[in-house]
Protein backbone atom coordinates (compact mmCIF):
# COMPACT_ATOMS: atom_id res chain seq x y z
CA UNK A 1 0.00 0.00 0.00
CA UNK A 2 1.23 3.52 -0.75
CA UNK A 3 0.40 4.89 2.69
CA UNK A 4 -1.21 8.25 3.33
CA UNK A 5 -0.32 10.70 0.57
CA UNK A 6 -0.12 14.44 1.11
CA UNK A 7 0.53 17.23 -1.35
CA UNK A 8 2.29 19.50 -1.68
CA UNK A 9 5.19 18.54 0.58
CA UNK A 10 6.29 22.16 0.87
CA UNK A 11 4.32 25.34 0.31
CA UNK A 12 5.57 28.89 0.54
CA UNK A 13 3.01 31.63 0.13
CA UNK A 14 2.46 35.26 0.93
CA UNK A 15 0.17 36.53 3.63
CA UNK A 16 -3.39 36.88 2.37
CA UNK A 17 -3.18 34.13 -0.22
CA UNK A 18 -5.35 31.05 -0.24
CA UNK A 19 -3.65 27.76 0.57
CA UNK A 20 -5.06 24.30 -0.14
CA UNK A 21 -3.51 21.18 1.32
CA UNK A 22 -4.49 17.76 0.00
CA UNK A 23 -4.64 14.29 1.46
CA UNK A 24 -5.35 10.82 0.14
CA UNK A 25 -5.95 8.32 2.98
CA UNK A 26 -5.09 4.65 2.86
CA UNK A 27 -7.69 2.73 0.87
CA UNK A 28 -10.31 1.19 3.15
CA UNK A 29 -9.67 3.51 6.08
CA UNK A 30 -12.85 5.10 7.37
CA UNK A 31 -11.53 7.94 9.51
CA UNK A 32 -9.33 10.86 8.52
CA UNK A 33 -7.62 13.41 10.74
CA UNK A 34 -5.92 16.75 10.13
CA UNK A 35 -3.22 17.87 12.58
CA UNK A 36 -0.96 20.89 12.85
CA UNK A 37 2.49 20.72 14.43
CA UNK A 38 4.58 23.65 15.64
CA UNK A 39 7.45 23.97 18.07
CA UNK A 40 5.42 26.21 20.35
CA UNK A 41 2.11 24.30 20.43
CA UNK A 42 3.17 20.76 19.59
CA UNK A 43 0.72 18.48 17.76
CA UNK A 44 -2.83 19.82 17.55
CA UNK A 45 -5.87 18.01 16.19
CA UNK A 46 -7.75 20.34 13.86
CA UNK A 47 -10.63 18.21 12.57
CA UNK A 48 -11.56 14.62 11.92
CA UNK A 49 -13.98 12.80 9.64
CA UNK A 50 -15.63 9.42 9.89
CA UNK A 51 -17.13 7.97 6.70
CA UNK A 52 -16.56 11.36 5.03
CA UNK A 53 -18.62 13.23 7.64
CA UNK A 54 -16.95 15.83 9.90
CA UNK A 55 -17.27 14.61 13.48
CA UNK A 56 -15.32 17.16 15.49
CA UNK A 57 -13.96 20.47 14.18
CA UNK A 58 -13.44 22.10 17.56
CA UNK A 59 -9.70 22.29 16.93
CA UNK A 60 -10.02 24.45 13.83
CA UNK A 61 -8.43 27.71 14.94
CA UNK A 62 -10.82 30.12 13.23
CA UNK A 63 -13.10 30.67 10.28
CA UNK A 64 -10.15 31.11 7.95
CA UNK A 65 -9.70 27.33 8.12
CA UNK A 66 -12.04 24.90 6.39
CA UNK A 67 -11.84 21.19 5.56
CA UNK A 68 -13.76 18.94 3.24
CA UNK A 69 -13.90 15.27 2.44
CA UNK A 70 -15.96 14.87 -0.75
CA UNK A 71 -15.27 11.14 -0.99
CA UNK A 72 -13.48 8.33 0.81
CA UNK A 73 -10.22 8.87 -1.02
CA UNK A 74 -9.67 12.61 -0.82
CA UNK A 75 -9.68 15.46 1.66
CA UNK A 76 -8.61 19.10 1.59
CA UNK A 77 -7.67 21.64 4.22
CA UNK A 78 -8.00 25.22 3.07
CA UNK A 79 -6.72 28.40 4.68
CA UNK A 80 -8.13 31.65 3.33
CA UNK A 81 -6.63 34.16 3.86
CA UNK A 82 -3.36 32.79 5.17
CA UNK A 83 -1.33 34.54 7.89
CA UNK A 84 2.28 34.13 9.05
CA UNK A 85 1.12 32.46 12.27
CA UNK A 86 -0.32 29.62 10.15
CA UNK A 87 3.23 28.52 9.33
CA UNK A 88 3.53 24.92 10.55
CA UNK A 89 3.71 21.33 9.40
CA UNK A 90 0.25 19.96 8.62
CA UNK A 91 -0.28 16.22 8.88
CA UNK A 92 -3.06 14.06 7.61
CA UNK A 93 -3.68 10.65 9.23
CA UNK A 94 -6.13 7.84 8.62
CA UNK A 95 -7.47 4.98 10.70
CA UNK A 96 -8.90 1.63 9.68
CA UNK A 97 -12.44 0.95 10.74
CA UNK A 98 -11.32 -1.93 12.89
CA UNK A 99 -7.86 -2.75 14.17
CA UNK A 100 -8.36 -5.20 16.97
CA UNK A 101 -10.32 -2.66 18.94
CA UNK A 102 -7.44 -0.22 19.01
CA UNK A 103 -7.42 2.71 16.65
CA UNK A 104 -3.83 3.22 15.57
CA UNK A 105 -3.30 6.10 13.19
CA UNK A 106 -1.29 6.11 9.97
CA UNK A 107 0.33 9.47 9.27
CA UNK A 108 1.29 11.05 6.00
CA UNK A 109 4.67 12.77 5.52
CA UNK A 110 3.22 16.21 6.17
CA UNK A 111 3.07 19.53 4.32
CA UNK A 112 5.44 22.20 5.55
CA UNK A 113 3.66 25.54 5.12
CA UNK A 114 5.51 28.84 5.29
CA UNK A 115 3.51 32.05 5.10
CA UNK A 116 5.63 35.18 4.61
Residue 83 CB, nearest approach to other proteins (Å):
24
For residue 67, the minimal CB distance to other proteins (Å) is: 15
Binding part of the chain for other proteins, among 11-19, 20-28, 40-48, 72-80 by CB under 8 A, reads 40-48
- CA 86 – CA 76 distance, rounded (Å): 16
CB of 69 to other proteins, least distance (A): 14
Q: Which residue from 13, 20, 22, 45 is in contact with other proteins, where contact means CB under 8 A?
A: 45
Q: Which of 56, 83, 84, 114 binds other proteins (CB under 8 A)?
A: 56
β-pairing, 29-38 vs 88-96, is antiparallel
Q: Which one, of 20, 2, 24, 8, lies nearest residue 72 by Cα?
A: 24
Work out which of 5, 20, 22, 50 binds other proteins, going by CB under 8 A.
50
Which residues lie near other proteins (CB under 8 A)? 4, 31, 33, 42-43, 45, 48, 50, 55-56, 91, 93, 95, 100-110
Amino acid sequence: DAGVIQSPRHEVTEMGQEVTLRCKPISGHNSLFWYRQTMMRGLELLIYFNNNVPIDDSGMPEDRFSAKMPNASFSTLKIQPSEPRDSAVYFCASTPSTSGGSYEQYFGPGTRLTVT
